[in-house]
Structure 1
């Protein structure tokens, strides 16, 4: 059948009450029509098996220029439209990366980037991640109250990704400001300004790295080649943008959401303290239970497809509802319970298929090291406010907290 129901508003209220809203939709059916705050209609897939299949379906495209055209086609005559530059969204030109491409362009880019972003390079970061973790946790000790996001969850991954890419330490706060403005849904003008400032800085950084190469990922991306093929300047800027944003935003919110899950489930926190070897599994459960993304970025149907008995026409936007799929009780029994001993393997927090997150191993390693350090330093960590008072980010993509105040209560 083809559904013709009125779309459900995906607004701030939906995002703030994400799991409850998604649970209602998942119970009602596998596919629903939403409309985001910009007025764009999108189909969301809420059940695990359908979402996983969707993420590997070649009939779903991600090409940025096609997405731009489809977006513009959906605005009514006379309605305010997004600014455009040469058939693309305005503000920085960050769309020429793997996440916004289909094969064969995606295949070419991923092959080049993987040659620089190697497992060996990531693993070599472990001692430095442990050192940064120790420094940040030591600085938290002795304070009666501290925001885990500001003091720990943000500075850890941003320092790691900036050092990995060779970004100057003095610009870390700039990157936090820029990415927050790009991913939050409060001020479109501020978002465009942030994109422009970030693009200018990355252009200057690339020029500096070409002049003075270093032992960092950015230099490796500049130098990497395959059959005389190299990344172009726009591709380099877009890839560095993707690595910077994805390389710290997801980990910030993975740590923040995960710590909240532990503190609101004291039996699980106690189990982890009693057996720190459960850390790796705990991180997977954190990703499943309350991951850093609500759903995927836009995909579009290249032809009509049927999901869960519902036909979605060609040229329609589709989200895989990651937060909904990861709490599907048909895949994860007692899915709304946080259980660090469960086998959470197969969750979709990092996606699936050709667009599976390239930085997943780095995010996992950072979160595992962070969690081990936090437990060792602050085994009596408690929330400094009630969970109901914690606000969520104003984003239609990122699922994260605005702040997470805690009482460290250092171990004697």
Structure 2
């Protein structure tokens, strides 16, 4: 494909509702495609499992934004200054050796043995969130659970003080959704940025005064010891607060939507909770909350799977397209909880593999297990086509998930809308 080819548009309600038919078409056409995002930025999309797997470990592809060319910076560096320089130098935008040094500062907090030891505490949090619900009725599972549980877990793991956790505005998470300079929503976007930046400054000041052994305190101490620059510290706190919980919220919703589309598997999983670990892996593969990776760049014009990529153009890997590749996963569009092996790419691969993967797996196992146990006969309260999928470029999830549970599973299906069918 030449750079002059008309890009494929990766946006719009229908695309966000179900991108998989388009991904299947792109996989059949080849591994690399020119695409356009809502901001107007064009990029090169890698599809297919083998191509994605190799691209994620290709040492020629760097993540630092300084590699981007002028055309990319003109549209893709949406976050304005000074926030772009102050909040965008976290792990996702670093290359070795700096990436290696920064990642080493956080890995202990998310080590599998440590987060597994916290499982009983996380389970208590999940149960407490549902204790106030009636035995049957309706609820928005995002509002009452999916938006709250991951943040409570994150606060516990990183050492976010209760007074700061209480005042965190989930709306700040929208700063990762591109809003162009001419967009009417730009003032609100910039207000979110300023609010979040002030929150981070206050949090760092508090942690410096209080001290401690938690992750946030250790990062502040690393800054004071000269191991981190100010912008690196603020960016890492930004990444923890936004990327540390919103993807899990989204993954809970995508997993629930998938289960509600497959009531037989939902019922089987509810009756056999010991299958949750395998089921979570398959749900991650089937519809990942991390739909696409962040940018990567070649330092010079480079051929990638037969396509010439100009230096500084952005290369993005479609994790969701890779995870539905029949060449790697037989019957890839189907949901098989006994799929083994299941080497999905929902958490990425290579040096940028998600450091919180072990924690996310535990959160998903607890979240789904608790919801299926505590909310019997779970079902959508609205037609599926009424669900609004988030317009975020890289992520998948729904902002609201109205459900009903308990009582008669066929309520409203009888004559005149009655529940006589029960």
CA distance in 2, matches of 1:259, 1:410: 19
CA distance in 1, matches of 2:174, 2:316: 22
Aligned residue number for residue 417 of structure 2: none
Q: Say yes or no: does 1:195 pair with 2:193.
A: yes
Q: Say yes or no: does 1:101 pair with 2:102.
A: no
CA distance in 1, matches of 2:170, 2:45: 29
- For normalisation by structure 2, the TM-score amounts to 0.88
Alignment of structure 1 residues 51-200 onto 2, 5 Å: 51-67=52-68, 69=70, 71-72=72-73, 82=78, 84-85=80-81, 90=83, 93-170=86-163, 171-172=165-166, 174-183=168-177, 185=179, 187-200=185-198
Question: 3-state SS of the aligned residue for 2:160?
Answer: coil
Q: Say yes or no: does 1:7 pair with 2:23.
A: no
CA distance in 2, matches of 1:288, 1:348: 7
| Closer, same or farther: CA 177–320 of 1 in aligned 2, 3 Å | same
CA distance in 2, matches of 1:8, 1:301: 21
Q: Are 2:68 and 2:312, in contact at CA under 8 Å, matched by a contact in 1?
A: no
Q: Are 1:182 and 1:195, in contact at CA under 8 Å, matched by a contact in 2?
A: no
Q: Say yes or no: does 1:285 pair with 2:282.
A: yes
Cα deviations by residue, 1:66-115 (Å, 9 ceiling, x for unpaired): 3375523579xxxxx85753xxx745721121110111111111122224
CA distance in 2, matches of 1:299, 1:277: 39
Aligned residue number for residue 78 of structure 1: none
Partner residue of 2:238 out of 225, 237, 241 = 241
How far the C-alpha of 1:16 sits from its partner, in A, is 3.3
Structure 1 unmatched ranges of 5 or more: 76-80
Q: Are 1:299 and 1:319, in contact at CA under 8 Å, matched by a contact in 2?
A: yes
CA distance in 2, matches of 1:99, 1:288: 21
Q: Say yes or no: does 1:402 pair with 2:399.
A: yes
* RMSD, aligned α-carbons: 2.5
Question: 3-state SS of the aligned residue for 2:303?
Answer: strand
Aligned residue number for residue 222 of structure 1: 220
Q: Are 1:322 and 1:348, in contact at CA under 8 Å, matched by a contact in 2?
A: yes
CA distance in 1, matches of 2:386, 2:188: 27
Question: 3-state SS of the aligned residue for 2:9?
Answer: strand
CA distance in 2, matches of 1:388, 1:38: 25
How far the C-alpha of 1:231 sits from its partner, in A, is 2.4
CA distance in 2, matches of 1:281, 1:188: 42
Cα deviations by residue, 1:342-372 (Å, 9 ceiling, x for unpaired): 1362111110011000111111111111122
CA distance in 2, matches of 1:105, 1:283: 33
Higher mean alpha-carbon deviation, 215-224 vs 272-281, is at 215-224
How far the C-alpha of 1:389 sits from its partner, in A, is 1.5
Cα deviations by residue, 1:302-345 (Å, 9 ceiling, x for unpaired): 23333333232322211101111110111111111122221362
Structure 2 unmatched ranges of 5 or more: 409-422
Matched residue count: 402
Q: Are 1:377 and 1:410, in contact at CA under 8 Å, matched by a contact in 2?
A: no
CA distance in 1, matches of 2:344, 2:308: 26
Q: Are 2:35 and 2:45, in contact at CA under 8 Å, matched by a contact in 1?
A: yes
CA distance in 2, matches of 1:195, 1:369: 32
How far the C-alpha of 1:51 sits from its partner, in A, is 0.5
Higher mean alpha-carbon deviation, 382-391 vs 183-192, is at 183-192
Aligned residue number for residue 18 of structure 2: 17
Q: Are 2:250 and 2:398, in contact at CA under 8 Å, matched by a contact in 1?
A: yes
Question: 3-state SS of the aligned residue for 2:344?
Answer: coil
Q: Say yes or no: does 1:271 pair with 2:268.
A: yes
Higher mean alpha-carbon deviation, 94-103 vs 140-149, is at 140-149
How far the C-alpha of 1:290 sits from its partner, in A, is 0.7
Alignment of structure 1 residues 309-348 onto 2, 5 Å: 309-343=306-340, 345-348=342-345
CA distance in 2, matches of 1:368, 1:305: 42
How far the C-alpha of 1:229 sits from its partner, in A, is 5.6
Q: Say yes or no: does 1:252 pair with 2:249.
A: yes
Q: Are 2:68 and 2:313, in contact at CA under 8 Å, matched by a contact in 1?
A: no
Q: Are 2:109 and 2:158, in contact at CA under 8 Å, matched by a contact in 1?
A: no
How far the C-alpha of 1:277 sits from its partner, in A, is 1.1
Q: Are 1:305 and 1:311, in contact at CA under 8 Å, matched by a contact in 2?
A: yes
How far the C-alpha of 1:180 sits from its partner, in A, is 2.6
| Closer, same or farther: CA 84–381 of 1 in aligned 2, 3 Å | closer
Q: Are 1:115 and 1:224, in contact at CA under 8 Å, matched by a contact in 2?
A: no
